[in-house]
Amino acid sequence: MASSLPEGGASSPGVRVRGVGMTPFGSPADRSLPELCEQAAERALADASIDPGTVTSLHVGTMAAGPFNGCFGLANALAGSLGLNEPETRRIENTSATGASTLLDAINTSRANSSGTALVVCGEKMSEADTAASTELISRVAHPREYRHGVTLPALAGLVADRYLREYGGTRRDLARVAVKNHANALSNRYAHFRKEIEVSDVVESPPVAEPLRLYDCCPRSDGAAAVVLSEGDDDVQILACESAGGTHAVGDRTNPLWIDGVHAAGKAAYEAAGLAPKAIDIACLHDAFTILEWLELEALGFAERGGGWRLTRDGTTTVDGAFPVNPGGGLKARGHPLGATGLSQVIELVWQFRGDVPSERAVDGRYGLALSMAGFGNNAVCTIVGANQ
C-alpha cells in the first residue's frame, strides 16, 4: 500500500444516502430515456420515503442524451414529470464518468445546503443509435490527436493489455478470469445486462476486438438509469468522500501507459478526505469497461503493487468470497455500461451491500466500500468512498 496515504479511521459523518433506485440494465430497453430516468427516480424516492415536492435540487447526468436520441432539456422535463417543486436543476456530462460526476455535484450542493434534499438521476439509452454511430460517438472521448489517427478506446485497451502481459507477467488466461468472475457475480443480480456464466475458454475463444482483448473482455452497450436521494445526516449509509481528479488526456503522452495518474490522484484525495487507507476498504466497484482496467485500477488505488494486480485475480483475492471482493454486482463487464448511469450504479451496489439488500450469493461483509468511475481512458476519474454505520 502507498505509504503517503492515511492510516486512520473515517473522519466526520458524510452525506446520508436516503434512498436508491435503478432500472434493469440491458439493450434495447422498452422505454425512452426520460421514462427510464423517471422510473429510477421514482424508485429512489419511494425507497427514501420522500415526497417529491420536498426535493430542493435535481442533478441529471447523461453523456450523450441529444446525440443518441434527440433528447434535450432532460433535467427540466424530469423536474416536471416527477412533480418536483421548483428545485435547483442542472445536467452534468463527463463522458463515462458522468454518473459519478453528477453524484459529486449533488454532494457539494447537499453540503452547501444542509437542510436540502438532492435527487441524482443518471441514464443512457444507447440502443437508439446503431453500433457504428454509437462507436463513433464514444470514440470522440479520446484525445483529438489520437482520434484523428483512428485510435479508439478498445485499441488503447488492447495496446495496454499487450504491454502489461509482456512486462509484468500474468497470462492471457489470468486476464480472462476477470470477465469470468464478474459474469459469475452478475448471475444473482436481477439488474444486470448479462446473467450468463462463462468460462475462461469462452473469453479467449470469443471474436477478437483489439488483440489480445476479445469480445468477452469488453463491456456491452446498455440502456438503463439509476437514481440516488441524498441529504445531510449521521446514520444509515454515508458517502464519506467523493473526489475527482484529471489525468494526462492523450495516452501517448503518458510517461507510463500502464499507470493511470488520474485514478491514483482521485483515490489519494478520497482516502485523505475519508481519513482511511486502502487497507480499510472491504469491497470495491471498479471501472472494468475492459478487463485490463480492473488490474490497472487495483494498482493505482493502492490495493496491489505496480504490476501485481493480476496476482489478486489468479489467487482468488477479488472473488466474492475472497479477501477483497471486486465488482460483486458484475461490474461494467456484466452488469452493463449505460455510460451516464454507470458511476451511480456502482455506488448503489455498495449501498445495497451495506444495507443487506443483495442475495447471499454475492453478499460481502464489511463497513467501507470504494467506487471508481473513469472518463475516457483515464483522462478523468472520480473516486467515492461509502461507509456503513455499525
15-31 pLDDT, tens digit per residue, is: 999 999 999 999 887 89
pLDDT value at residue 370: 98
* 255 found inside a domain: yes
In degrees, rounded to 5, the angle at the alpha carbon of residue 228 between the alpha carbons of residues 43 and 190 is 55
Average pLDDT on 168-188 reads 97
Domain boundary residue, one of 171, 205, 230: 230
Q: Is 303 found in the same domain as 354?
A: yes
* 311 found inside a domain: yes
Q: Is 119 found in the same domain as 243?
A: no
172-186 helix and 153-168 helix, angle to the nearest 10 degrees: 120
61-65, 95-99, 270-274 — which is least confidently predicted? 61-65
pLDDT value at residue 63: 86
* 159 found inside a domain: no
Alpha-carbon distance of 103 to 123, in angstroms, equals: 13
Alpha-carbon distance of 390 to 60, in angstroms, equals: 31
Q: Is 239 found in the same domain as 344?
A: yes
Give 255-308 pLDDT, tens digit per residue.
Answer: 888 999 999 999 999 999 999 999 999 999 999 999 999 999 999 999 999 999
pLDDT for residue 2 is more than 80: no
* 209 found inside a domain: no
Q: Is 359 found in the same domain as 265?
A: yes
**How far is CA 270 from its chain centroid?**
15
* 353 found inside a domain: yes
Kindly indicate the confidence band of residue 251, based on its pLDDT and cuts at 50, 70 and 90.
confident
Domain boundary residue, one of 181, 207, 230: 230
Average pLDDT on 324-340 reads 97
pLDDT for residue 384 is more than 50: yes
65-69, 162-166, 175-179, 222-226 — which is least confidently predicted? 65-69
* 210 found inside a domain: no
Q: Is 247 found in the same domain as 381?
A: yes
Q: How far is CA 232 from CA 15, 84, 328, 353, in A?
A: 5, 19, 28, 21
Q: Is 226 found in the same domain as 80?
A: yes
Is the Cβ–Cβ distance between 176 and 199 less than 8 Å? no
Q: Is 262 found in the same domain as 288?
A: yes
Contacts 24+ apart (CB under 8 A), 163-168: 163/257, 163/258, 164/258, 164/292, 164/295, 164/296, 164/307, 164/310, 165/212, 167/258, 167/307, 168/258, 168/307, 168/308, 168/310
pLDDT for residue 244 is more than 60: yes
Domain of residue 45, residue span: 15-130+222-230
pLDDT value at residue 1: 35
* 5 found inside a domain: no
Domain boundary residue, one of 230, 247, 272: 230
- Domains in the chain, number: 2
Q: Is 271 found in the same domain as 226?
A: no
Q: Is 288 found in the same domain as 226?
A: no
Average pLDDT on 150-175 reads 92
Question: And the C-alpha cell for 148?
Answer: 484523428
pLDDT for residue 104 is more than 50: yes
pTM: 0.93
Q: Point out which residues pair with 208 in neighbouring strands.
A: 214
Q: Is 226 found in the same domain as 79?
A: yes
pLDDT for residue 59 is more than 60: yes
Q: Is 226 found in the same domain as 300?
A: no
Q: Give all strands (DSSP E) within the chain, no chain letters.
A: 15-22, 57-61, 88-92, 117-125, 208-210, 213-214, 223-232, 237-246, 283-285, 368-375, 380-388
Alpha-carbon distance of 135 to 122, in angstroms, equals: 20
Q: Is 371 found in the same domain as 288?
A: yes
SS3 state at 16: strand
Give 137-162 pLDDT, tens digit per residue.
Answer: 666 676 676 666 667 888 899 999 99
Give 334-356 pLDDT, tens digit per residue.
Answer: 999 999 999 999 999 999 999 99
pLDDT for residue 66 is more than 80: no
* 341 found inside a domain: yes
Q: What is the CATH number of the domain that holds 282?
A: 3.40.47.10
